[in-house]
Amino acid sequence: MNRPKPVMLLILDGWGYREAAPDNAISVATTPNWDALLAQHPHTLIETSGVHVGLPAGQMGNSEVGHMNLGAGRIVYQDLSRIDHAIETGEFFRNPALLGACAKVREAHRTLHVFGLLSPGGVHSHELHLLAMLDLAKQQGVQQLCVHAFLDGRDTPPRSAGPSIRLMQKQCDALGYRIGTVSGRYFAMDRDQRWDRVQRTYVAIVDAQGEPADCALAALQSAYARGENDEFAQPSVIAGHVPMVDGDAVVFMNFRADRARELTAAFVTPDFNGFERRLPALADYVCLTEYAADLPATVAWPSETLQNTLPQVLSANGLSQLRIAETEKYAHVTFFFSGGVEAEYPGETRILVPSPKVATYDLQPEMSCPEVTDKLVEAITGQTFDVIICNIANPDMVGHTGVMAAAVAAAEAVDLALGRIVAAIRAVDGALIVTADHGNLEKMRDAESGQPHTAHTVGPVPLVFVGAATSVRSGGALRDVAPTMLHLLGVPVPTEMTGRNLLQDTPDA
């Protein structure tokens, strides 16, 4: 077969499928290029959530999960499912790293600090995991435990933290523990080196400096009174919280790495220079999963190594590959797409386009899509790479703001980019797969609460093929994309990949 060059995967992050509706930003937007793609090229819907991607049934997908499944060509069982299973079987309560942190503070009569996103969202954490950690600590005789609760409002409705705080407060009261600080994830879980935000949470936790509140629920109510939703709640210090001291220990209960790295780096990196800090000599700092290979912290559940991912197979076959994204999704198109491998493979090139420095992305809904497209078209036209993998970030990032007008503008910015990208691919007789890692932008209002819908959606996403094939099959999922790309390249699909080629008019479909 004649191998198209390049074979390209374009991931429209957060571009889901839903029938036209007043709150569907994609259908409301003017999208002539997207409409033409659907009219002129074979397309289908593929699954991105729940058991199709290694999550519990009905659990929405996310960018980390999506990119891992896309790159692996198989169902990748996710940390949410792994930790849930460990709690169910009792393995969680025997974990050596968690037991070790408890033993150190128990013997030294110090405090165990439990960090985590207090949310039922299941994207970065799950509140039930935090509650299980408190149970474990009590079983292990920990006398002093302080919860530092990070509020969601992004993978959950914007003002929905009340029940989660009440649940945690009830557990703390029953076990003799306390909530020490409350911070919106905007501050505690930045991932774009906006250190001024991270510093606000750090000094609240370490130095007990922040907005004062009598209790966690009062902190939330004060945030709402200031006009702050859960995500943006300014770090608050709860009455009774005292500064950290030498010998204390930390357990960070987020299982997703990308938004846990910066706060962790501030605690464990000796030559950290993000901001001036007082650094207590901690007895231990435990991450639930590995946040980064270069962070000197204890890891409770190390990553499981994936063999024969798409990037690995491409490299082994001497094929060149380009990964390109803006900052907000760069880790996804590199680290996560490579199955948790940070290093570049032989033949791999990476292009990072900085994301705009704005407070929230509704203020610049195109984000860096035009600049990413410039670099992408240049790479396609140059025909330097056998494979190109690109992430367009703004549908997801703007969808998370809940601002409908900005979401429509984001969709229209993507449409402009699509026109340029498809034209470039056609000009060189390349092959293009356009799909998404999960949905978001197609649902901007929560019908039940009436609040803006800022979370990902559960359900399928479109997949469009631009190339020689005349049809694509139905019933696919994210795991089927990598085998499809290998088929286009004429490369045998390794046995580890359980996904199937999506192109129907080919012998192995």
Distance in angstroms (rounded) separating the CA atoms of residues 234 and 215: 14
CA dist., res. 181 & res. 205, Å (int): 6
Task: Report the alpha-carbon angle 483-485-490, nearest 5.
Answer: 90
Orientation of helix 32-40 relative to helix 404-427, angle to 10°: 50
Residue 63 bears catalytic tag:
yes
How many CA atoms lie less than 13 Å away from 34 in the CB half-sphere?
21
Instruction: Determine the Cα–Cα distance for residues 122 and 124; give it in Å rounded to an integer.
Output: 6
CB atoms within 10 A of CB 108: 14
d(CA 326, CA 330): 6
Say how far apart CA 461 and CA 482 lie, in whole Å. 16
- Tokens (6 digits) for 410: 């984001």
Instruction: Given the residues 49, 63, 125, 355, select the one marked as catalytic.
Output: 63
Query: How many other C-beta atoms lie within 10 A of the C-beta of residue 2?
Result: 7
CA angle 350, 425, 481 (to 5 degrees): 65
3-class secondary-structure state, position 313: helix
* Alpha-helical regions (H) of 317-403: 327-331, 369-382, 394-399
Q: Which residues contact 304 (CB under 8 A, 6 or more apart)?
A: none
DSSP character string of 152-188: -SSSS-TT--HHHHHHHHHHHHHHT-EEEEEEEHHHH
20's CB contacts (< 8 A; 6+ apart) are 27
Catalytically active residues are 63
